[in-house]
Structure formats: structure tokens, C-alpha cells
Structure 1
Amino acid sequence: MMLELRLNCECCDRDLPPASLDARICSFECTFCHDCAEGVFGGRCPNCGGELVRRPIRPPDRLLRHPRRDAADTEAGRMHLDMSLRASRRGLVPPFIAMDVLRAANEREAGGADVIHLEVGQPGAQAPEPVLDAARHALKSAQIGYTDALGIAPLRKAIAAHYQAQYEVSVDPAEVVVTTGSSAAFQLAFLAAFEPGDRVGIAIPGYPAYRNVLAALDIESVLIAAGENAHYQPTPELLADVGRLDGLVVASPANPTGTMIHAVDLARLVEYCRGHRIRLISDEIYHGITYETASTTARAYAREAVIVNSFSKYYCMTGWRLGWMLVPPDLARSVECLAQNFYISPPALSQLAALPVFDCRTELDAHVRRYRQNRDLLIRALVDAGLSRFAPAEGAFYLYVDVSRLTRDSADFCRRLLAETGVALTPGLDFDPVGGASWVRLSFAGATEEVAEAARRLANWLAR
């Protein structure tokens, strides 16, 4: 059976004619250009995980007789089909590599080997007991059915009250949209605020799902290299260098760096966006998890900004799939109609369970103190092991670590570390397709004993 010649990169749609030296394929003939194969996927197929190698060039005389294989031959009679079904290129986005690492780690565990999970941003603690009690009560006494598409009124009121209590910012419950996790909130925000072809600024390193979801919606991600000198955050000066922008996504505290945009700098950024008609979307899902100074909400400066938050991180409710947005008036009806059609409503049980969580801060703040202890433990261990360059983790529960003295292939580094020690990390390519091959992200959200054991194994492995 001859090799199928696919003539476009399945990631960026770049032309890859039969004689192209840039074409890379896996054993299943998934096809990518060299830049995507190496820069985005780290030399591994995002579909099967296999190695991506240079596609051989078919001799010209054979190419005339067999230009390409457009469809499968059938078993009966091996009939050549002239037409085939095709998949939308919008679905050919890069993977969320952290989830691929989680799958590999889970497969290792299923085989009987132990794993210490530092690859995903999931709190080690379960939801507070009042949340569990509310869920039990709801299961016994409430009808778990559809709710209003924007969320139940008591929860929207509780979220609005939270802004007054935590930030001294007055929020009308009508601004609040409860969502199926913050992931749904970003989809709603992107669809309501931007048109195909719009340009949206995103700092790198940064959360990969921003750019991947934007790509699926045919919205251009404008990558803003925000390095150490910019505190790994976008600034008005950096924005001025990238040309026209229709939107900007910021995160404070940020994933993977843990850095924050402090109040004065956030006010400057909001004013720049307002003056240049840039729609600001502020990812605030790690608010509450800060170690030196408290977070500032962009809602304090910008009524026109879209604010996204979640019950997953600070509130320890990842699997409940519940988040929220603050939506400005000009997007309110669009977001509501999109939510009705995409999701019907957020999960009813999760909404009812979340009602008491804003009164659980004593328990939740104790988790934050543990995260800080884990962060400091991990920093000491990494420095002792010779890894002394990392982003300043002011919030969230990640360390973003420079491993360039050890490797220029962080994906392979993480694969070997998992296979040889059982410690799962996420390669930096997930967060920075340009420079992430020399970085890794470690999550310290788990139990202190597990973080300490992971640090011990990592130090021993590096010392070999």
C-alpha cells in the first residue's frame, strides 16, 4: 500500500507539496510542517504520540502514476474512491500537552507503577465539607434539572456579594454569568467579543487553551513574548510593538509563571486597552491563591472588560465544572444566547453545592498556606539541584523552571523523568511554542509529603 501524500500541514494549513522537504509524518501518515512538528509538538504526533520524521519524496515517475491517495481502498475489490469525508481543519488544534502527560501518567499508574502528579493544576484537597453537605442535601430534596442559562439567582447574588467583600467593588448580579467551568466562559467570551480574523494578544509563556480555542474559531493569536524583564506579563510598551489588536487576554496570577499584574500596572494596562479600543479579557481563576500581595480584579478599573473566574482552583472544585463571568452590557445578550445554545445551563447540582463555598475561607486559606510551604520547599530543592532560574511564583501553584542547561527538548525530558522516576511534569512547549523547549512546569498543589518526595526523586535523577 502506497504512502498517502497529504498536501497541507494539519496544524497551520501550510502547503506541503509532494517534493517538500519540510513535511513531517508519523506512522499513521498524520502530516505537519517542520515548524509545527518541532516547535509546537516537540517532534511527537499530537494524535498518536509517535515520532514525527521527514516524509520521503516519491520519485517523479511514480508521482505521475500515483499522485496521492485521496481515500482508502475498500476490502471488497479494493475499489478506489474518488471522494472522501474530511475533517474540519478547525479541529486540528495542538493538544493541551498537560492533559496528554496526565493520560500517560494514568496509564503508568494503571500498570501498577507509582506516579507523583506535578503535571496538572489540581488542588490536592477536596471541596469543603459544607459544599459536600449542600450537594448531598440537593440530591435528596431538590430537582436536579435545567436551570436558567445564566445560572441560579442565589449563586449569581453570592458571586456579586463576593466582589464587594473581597475587592470593595460593586457588581450587579445581572452582570454575573455562571458557566460550565472557566473553559466555557472563555469560549463564550471569544465568540461574543471577536470576529474571525480578529487579532487577540496573548502573553507567552501562557495558558495554551487560549490560543488553541482562538485558533479553532479562526481568530488570530498574537503572541507577545513577555519575559523576565516584563515580569512575564504584557505591558503597554509590549502591546505597542505588535500592531493592531482587537483583544487582549491577561491572567493574574498567571499559569504557568505564577506572576501577577499589580494594581498600578493593571490600571495602566486597562487604560491602554481603553484608549486603543482593545477588548480586555481578564483570567482571574487563581485569585485567592497569592503569597505576598492580594490580587486586584480588572473589574475595579474596567466595566467593559470580561472577567473570568472559577470554582476549580481556590475553591477546590475542579471536577464540579463550575465557573463564572462578569459580562459588560454590550455583550450580555450575546453571551446569554450562546450559553443557551451551547450548554443549556451549568450543572444544577454543582451550582447548588457551591452556594456555601464563599463562607469557607478559613479552610481554603489553610490550603493556600500549604501551597506556599510547598513552593518554598520546591524552590530550595531545585536550587540545590542546580536549577536556579524560574519565574517568581507570586500566586497560583506552579513553578516555571528553566532547564536549558540540561536539555533543549523539554518534552523528551519530561517523558524520561516520568518513565525513570514516576514524577510527572509538563513540558514548557505547552505554554510557549517559541521558547518552551527549555522550560518545564511543576505544580505544587498536592500534599506536602508528595511534593517533598518528588523533589527528592528529581534531585537524585539530575545528579546521575
Structure 2
Amino acid sequence: MRKHGSGPSDRSGIEPFHAMTFLAEANRLKAEGADVLSLAVGQPASPAPLPAREAATTMIGRGAVGYTDAMGRPALRSALAAHYRQAYGVTIDPARVMITSGASGGFNIAFLAAFEAGDRIAIAAPGYPAYRNIMRALGIAPVEIEVGPSDDYILTSDRLEAYFRREPFQGVLIASPANPTGTMTPPDEIRRIADFCRTNGVWLISDEIYHRLSFGQEERSALQDLEEAIVVNSFSKYYCMTGWRIGWMILPPSLTDAAERLGQNLYISASDLSQTAALAALSAGDELDAVRESYRRNRLTMRERLPEIGFRTIAPIDGAFYAYAQIPEGFPSATVFAKTLLKQSHVAVTPGTDFDLRRGDGFVRLSYAGAEADVARALDRIADFVSKA
């Protein structure tokens, strides 16, 4: 047994988020005067939309920024419920909407409200690393199911069924569009996953943070197929509000009381200022759609340039703003590739070890959420770096 006071807890022994490590190094180089271009982090280059900034400025001018209810401001919750009716044709009681401290806060509450320590949740690998790291910190076991080119990086109901028959799990977490691959799960497959969860008494958690950032394929909310699904979303991506740390959940009625108690004790409430800005951001669709069009152009640039540079096994770039690709030949690992690229060419990318512990060191994730000129310059530098390696 570990002695108290002898060091950090076992539950804190999770993997670092390597994307943030590379961002920190990129920022250090910038502080030294280097012209660093970052494709490492999924952060829009565009600022929060103008209505959000104006609402926040007005609120600060009045000086009254305080706590809200743990579930969030009623006006924001009602506006989000209306969004689900308009966008997906589902009727959501605003009482089921919880405003959270980013999607990360939502995952913490969802895992604590729905699962016991020792429970198991199925996720795709490659996948967003915070899923498994938050689970492990909370004593929940991630069941990582490998996906790849043969199945378009999609976690299917058939794969879930096969794993479940061998070793049952209590939850399934899907993301569409997905991070890091950008892959979207087809609507029919989402329906089948929902049916699997309903039939087997398994919680379905749907990460829909990249909704409204898809390019040609249909977006489907899990709520369209399963009322008891737990949906996590955020204002960080489409709404360009990463640093505001504001997100939301749609909860099944059976979990709302538990989630509220957890929110009261873990966070008190999400930021009042950010909630006010978020409500205003919901009216900024035209401005935000124009930003999305810049991602569309960057996506086309990535699809054209990456194979020319020598990247291989490129995942479908259906949505979000990422390309996940096997590194060019001649490099021993993605970690070496990323470190050397940053040091020599001042371009930051994220090694795939963040997203796939077993196979990821052959891949990198490149974000195209930046300004178009910066993405183009970064790809030019990467091409020069690879050609000289």
C-alpha cells in the first residue's frame, strides 16, 4: 500500500496530453522570437463571434458577474433545447440541459453520474486521449477497440456486439465527427449503435463537439435514436470559444438530479460571463459559417498536399478540422518526426501516441483550424523538411 504523503496518487498516473506538450514548446519558441506555425491543437484561429464578445463586454461593464444555478442560466438552456428542435427535430425539455465548464467538465459529470468505479466504457482507438485518461482518473476502465482504414476508422455496432459478448461493458462513447481522424459515423450506424445500447442496457455517450463542422455528410445526433443517450457538446469548436471554457450536456431525465448535485460540488456553476457570451453566440450563424468555409478550403489543401508530401494511410477527412496520417517513410517514429519538425522547421504537429497507445507512433494529427495562409505555409515547411530528411 502506498504511504500517504509519499507522492502523487495512483489515479493521477495518467498519460500526458502530448498535444498540449507540443503547444507549450511551440509557445516557448514563439516567446524567443521564432516564427512558429502550429497545427498541433484543435483551436480555431478565429476569435469568438462578435455578438459573444459584445455581450461579454457589456456584462463586464456592468460588473455583475457571479454564480448561476449549477445547471446553468435558464435562457441558455432553453435556447439550446430550441436548437435541438430546429437542427435535429427532437424535443428536449430544457430541464435536461446542463451548462458545463467545457466539454471536459461534461465528461467528468457524465462519467460520475452514470458509472461506478470499475465499470467499463468502450471507445475507439485512435480516439481523443482525454476520454481514457479521465476514465482512468475516475477508476473507470476504458475498453479501447482498434479501428483503422479497413473500417474507415468507425466503431461499428458489430464490433461492439462482438466485444460485449466476450466481456460486457457498461457504456459506449462515440464521436462523430471524430478526433483525431475527422471520420463521421453514418446515420444508419448510429441507429444500430443506439439499438445495441438499448437492447443491452448500455449507456450511450455521444461526443458531438464537432457538429456543424462536417463537409458533405449528414450529421445525426444520438438523441434522434435514443432518448436516454448522454450528449456532450461545447462552444469551443464551431463557435470558436475554446478559452471561454463553456459547454453543455443533454442528459436523460434519470440523471439530471445526480448531475446537478455533482455540478454543485465540483464546479458550483459554469462561468457566468461565458454563459452570457455563449447565448449571444447562438445568433452568430452567418459569421461562424463563414469561418467554417475557411476550414473547408484548408481541408481541400490538406487532401491535396499531404499525399504529395509523402504522408500515407490518410484517414477520411469528413469533418472536424483534422487530418490523421501515417508519417512519410524514413522517419523512425511520429514522436521523432514531430520533435524534429518543430525544432528545425518551427511547425508543430501532434504525434499519434496521444490517440492510439499501440499504433499511434506511426501517425501524426495535423489541425487545419488555423488561418489559410498559415496552413499553406506550414505545409510548405513540412514538404521542405521531408524532402531534406
Tell me whether 1:177 sits opposite 2:98 in the alignment. yes
Tell me whether 1:406 sits opposite 2:346 in the alignment. no
Q: Partner letter of residue 192 of structure 1?
A: A
Which of residues 86, 109, 129 is equivalent to 1:208?
129
For the residue of structure 1 that corresponds to 2:282, the secondary structure is helix
Which of residues 55, 71, 75 is equivalent to 1:150?
71
**Counterpart position of 2:140:** 219
- Structure 1 segment 13-412 matched on structure 2, within 5 A: 85-141=6-62, 143-242=64-163, 243-403=167-327, 405-412=329-336
Tell me whether 1:462 sits opposite 2:386 in the alignment. yes
**Counterpart position of 1:39:** none
Q: CA–CA distance in 1 between the matches of 2:335 and 2:75?
A: 45
Q: Partner letter of residue 136 of structure 1?
A: T
Q: CA–CA distance in 2 between the matches of 1:401 and 1:140?
A: 47
Q: CA–CA distance in 1 between the matches of 2:257 and 2:151?
A: 37
Contact 2:102 2:248 in 1 (8 A): yes
For the residue of structure 1 that corresponds to 2:232, the secondary structure is strand
For the residue of structure 2 that corresponds to 1:113, the secondary structure is coil
More helix by percentage: 2
Contact 2:310 2:327 in 1 (8 A): no
Q: Which has the higher contact order (CA 8 A, sep 6+)?
A: 2
* Stretch moving more, 414-423 or 223-232: 223-232
Contact 1:256 1:431 in 2 (8 A): yes
CA deviation after TM superposition for structure 1 residue 362, in Å? 1.1
CA deviation after TM superposition for structure 1 residue 408, in Å? 4.1
For the residue of structure 1 that corresponds to 2:218, the secondary structure is coil
Q: CA–CA distance in 1 between the matches of 2:201 and 2:91?
A: 24
Contact 2:126 2:360 in 1 (8 A): yes
Q: CA–CA distance in 2 between the matches of 1:84 and 1:130?
A: 49
Q: CA–CA distance in 2 between the matches of 1:133 and 1:404?
A: 45
Q: CA–CA distance in 1 between the matches of 2:369 and 2:339?
A: 21
Q: CA–CA distance in 2 between the matches of 1:347 and 1:251?
A: 25
For the residue of structure 1 that corresponds to 2:35, the secondary structure is coil
Contact 1:288 1:294 in 2 (8 A): no
Q: CA–CA distance in 2 between the matches of 1:406 and 1:214?
A: 36
What RMSD over aligned residues (CA atoms) do the two structures have, in Å?
A: 1.5
Q: Partner letter of residue 374 of structure 2?
A: E
Deviation track 1:12-61 (CA, whole Å, cap 9, x = no partner) reads xxxxxxxxxxxxxxxxxxxxxxxxxxxxxxxxxxxxxxxxxxxxxxxxxx
For the residue of structure 2 that corresponds to 1:241, the secondary structure is helix
Q: How many correspondences in the alignment?
A: 385
Q: CA–CA distance in 2 between the matches of 1:381 and 1:225?
A: 27
Gapped regions of structure 1 (runs ≥ 5) = 1-6, 9-69, 71-82
Q: CA–CA distance in 1 between the matches of 2:253 and 2:91?
A: 15
**Counterpart position of 1:22:** none
Q: Partner letter of residue 206 of structure 1?
A: G
Tell me whether 1:447 sits opposite 2:368 in the alignment. no
Gapped regions of structure 2 (runs ≥ 5) = none
Q: CA–CA distance in 2 between the matches of 1:126 and 1:117?
A: 16
CA deviation after TM superposition for structure 1 residue 406, in Å? 3.3
* 1:278–1:156 CA distance, 2 compared to 1 (3 A): same
Contact 2:312 2:328 in 1 (8 A): no
For the residue of structure 2 that corresponds to 1:356, the secondary structure is helix
**Counterpart position of 1:417:** 341
Q: CA–CA distance in 2 between the matches of 1:348 and 1:385?
A: 46
Q: CA–CA distance in 2 between the matches of 1:409 and 1:386?
A: 15
CA deviation after TM superposition for structure 1 residue 279, in Å? 0.5
Q: Partner letter of residue 101 of structure 2?
A: T
Bigger-Rg structure (1/2): 1
Contact 2:88 2:220 in 1 (8 A): yes
CA deviation after TM superposition for structure 1 residue 226, in Å? 1.2
For the residue of structure 1 that corresponds to 2:217, the secondary structure is coil
* Stretch moving more, 118-127 or 363-372: 363-372
